[in-house]
Structure 1
Amino acid sequence: MFYGSAFQYDDLPLPREPHHEWALLHDESPKNNYLFSFEEVMSLFNHTSTFRRESDYPLVTQFLESSEWLTSTKHLLSVKEKRQQAEDLKLAPVIFTNSACATASDRDGYIRRLMEYIPVDSYGLCLHNRDLPKHLRDSIEGMFHEDFYKLISKYKFAVAIENALCVAYVTEKLWRPLHVGTIPIVMGSPKVKDLLPSNRSAIIVDDYESVEDLAKYLKYLDKNDEEYEQYFEWKKSGISNGYLLSLLRDREWVYDYSDNIEGINFFEGFECLICRRVHENLKREKTGQEKLEFRAKLEHYGCPAPVNVDDRGQRTLPSYLLTETFTSMKYIAKALRYHLERNLIVKGDSILRTAEHIRHRENQTSIT
């Protein structure tokens, strides 16, 4: 069993026998390991647990505590209260709190352009222009502090742009503003609308032709209280998205790992799934039945290449910083597969040499 962010290809146990089964749990974005963006690596695994709904043990709602937590009005402020807070504290309409800069989604590039049209308070290291209170500056503890929730609730809009644009990769960046009653500005999963509590609960960047068009709509909502407050009708009427409710109802793991809530976490749940599968095949083997075949596909993770946004905020440019890293990992994935299929030694130097050879050969073929 391997955890994606800590995965080292020279940790793979070789030679691999036909009965050896490998499992991957990767709940984080590809910036931690681009290897899983390629078929050559993903198809090595028999069992998977990722944020993709196609994986064997999906973690689509991994950062969402419950439907009750989402509909909570504990931190919800009326639009008049938000306006008063903005006047008293000199707040911008939009809050941005990220400290992981230079991302595969070019989050900073988009917000930098948005700042040309509408004020944004940036509390994190990226595009920093406003300081967090000292007790909220720890990137782990501060993120879940009640005072951090209260700070976000004072704003009309919160940037909810993921650091990668993977299908179904949705984090606390979306759920947190929805919980406190602030409209999230969302860029991330192309299927994020499938997970929203209602049809009118978030603003999706991809619905706008340009960053300027988005800014115009934000300014419109900022000046029209009735229109703005419609984005929180679902807080009163309840979640209308049946698919989201079913995901929360049917998952066997709990997100809150405190002693107050009974249940297993998704690490334990995934281990149990693997055990059930292994024992089912052991029974089949004893009774002469055909064993079940478990094999991962690219769709069990498979994130796209990093991008940069153009002047309109459209993702049309390759990432100047990350494209080479992504490309290098593509050839390492090919080299790793080449070695494993032949039970060759898997070590850094040998893999890198093979990767370079494959890259040179493919480039020569392309030129020809």
Structure 2
Amino acid sequence: PILPEEDPHLIYGDRIEAQLSARPEGDVHSALIYQQIDERAEQTMWLLDECPVKCMVSNMDAHIGAADALIFNPDFIDRIPLTRKSSQMWFLQLIESPVNTPTLIDFNGKINYTVSYRWDADFVSPYGRFVPFKKPKTMLNKALSRKKKRVAWFVSHCLTTNRRWQFAKKLGTYIEVDIFGECGEGRKTQEEMREMLKNDYTFYLAFENSNCNDYITEKLFENALGNDIIPIVMGAPKEDYLKVAPPNSFIHVDDFEDAEKLAEYLKFLSTNDHAYQEYFAWKRLGRIEDSSLNCRICLFLQQPTPKYYDDIEKWWHGKQECLYATEPPAFIQ
């Protein structure tokens, strides 16, 4: 099963592995992918390592016409050709939640495949995923005693639909919460943030900017799990986190009646080494990896299944994927 309609019940990892395991029948050909990257990045082309087929990836505009596939974000609309060549596949990559994605009407009838963190995308591309080791490793204890501070939050957007700012401020009335970034004590570099999270803080607020199904970003995978700190998460439903995060690696706000109850649990963990270390036991069981998106697409391009989206706007914005806080949640009352 390669595309979601072929088996809608496959979870993230199963479909990713199925796409990575796919092998073409007959001759194998090299593939060239044009992938939109930050415009500030140097334009270049590279050969993808550890892919069963020869896969070239480029962000050079000169390759837009010759590429077998274009992978681009919605803001790329002014740079793509007016018409798609019959031999070229277009992949729309959606990395923001529907709340923060503009209308996609201009893409109706033009897109062949979708790339997104969302489970129903043709090529599921979560911000990270847990992959088990073949054999568990020896556990390394995480010393709680060296972490003197409690909760940190690095945030750039203060006003969001899920009222995460109010959540954090309410929690801060019961336990120490230090806020950095545009909404707090000034911005920090990525390196400064990593050092602070690794060495100083026990918990990190991995609060998403919107509460949408499957929307779990680098706040969990890079900022928290990548820096040996316990994430307190808010955003997607808990069951979505369980699909991609390591086992017993996070604390979800939905598990607590209110901010005071959450603070009580955080204080308990802060004084109990055994309970604290259980949140890092996953490190002996597996690791965080990306989803090998470009290799999966190059394999797929060997024998692509014809498809296109007549109404990509409805597919993305018409499914009630997000919750909007019209009243203050019980957590902050």
Residue 102 of structure 1 deviates from its aligned partner by: 1.1
Residue 221 of structure 1 deviates from its aligned partner by: 1.4
Indicate how the Cα distance of structure 1 residues 308 and 158 shifts in structure 2: closer, same or farther if over 3 A, else same. farther
Equivalences for 1:274-293 in 2 at 5 Å?
A: 275-276=301-302, 280=304, 292-293=306-307
Equivalences for 1:6-45 in 2 at 5 Å?
A: 6=75, 13=82, 23-35=91-103, 45=111
1:155 paired to 2:212 = no
1:220 paired to 2:265 = no
SS in 2 for 1:81: coil
* Equivalence for 2:119: 53
Which amino acid in 2 is paired with 1:81? R
TM-score normalized by the length of structure 2:
0.61
Which amino acid in 1 is paired with 2:201? Y
* Post-superposition CA distance 1:267-308 (Å, at most 9, x none): x864x477446xx57xxxxxxxxxx44447766675425436
Q: Is contact 2:137–2:285 with CA below 8 Å preserved after alignment?
A: no
1:209 paired to 2:278 = no
Residue 29 of structure 1 deviates from its aligned partner by: 3.2
Spell out structure 1 runs of 4+ moving beyond 6 A.
9-12, 16-21, 40-44, 64-68
Structure 1 gaps, min length 5: 254-265, 282-291, 316-368
* Equivalence for 1:195: 244
* 1:78 equivalent among 120, 124, 143: 143
Count matched residues: 253
TM-score normalized by the length of structure 1:
0.56
* Post-superposition CA distance 1:143-167 (Å, at most 9, x none): 3x2x422210221100001112222
Write 1 or 2 for the structure with the bigger share of helix.
Answer: 1
**How large is the Cα RMSD of the aligned pairs?**
4.1
Equivalences for 1:169-318 in 2 at 5 Å?
A: 169-175=215-221, 176-190=223-237, 191-198=240-247, 200-235=248-283, 237-239=284-286, 248=289, 251-253=291-293, 266=294, 270=297, 272=298, 275-276=301-302, 280=304, 292-295=306-309, 303-304=321-322, 306-307=324-325, 310=328, 312-313=330-331
* Post-superposition CA distance 1:25-63 (Å, at most 9, x none): 122334542436x9x977874311111132111111x35
Distance in 2 separating the partners of 1:42 and 1:217 = 48
Which amino acid in 1 is paired with 2:273? D
* Equivalence for 1:285: none
Residue 202 of structure 1 deviates from its aligned partner by: 0.9
Residue 233 of structure 1 deviates from its aligned partner by: 2.1
Give 1 or 2 for the bigger CA radius of gyration: 1
| Percent of residue pairs identical | 27
Distance in 1 separating the partners of 2:109 and 2:331 = 35
1:4 paired to 2:73 = yes
Indicate how the Cα distance of structure 1 residues 122 and 67 shifts in structure 2: closer, same or farther if over 3 A, else same. farther
Distance in 2 separating the partners of 1:300 and 1:31 = 10
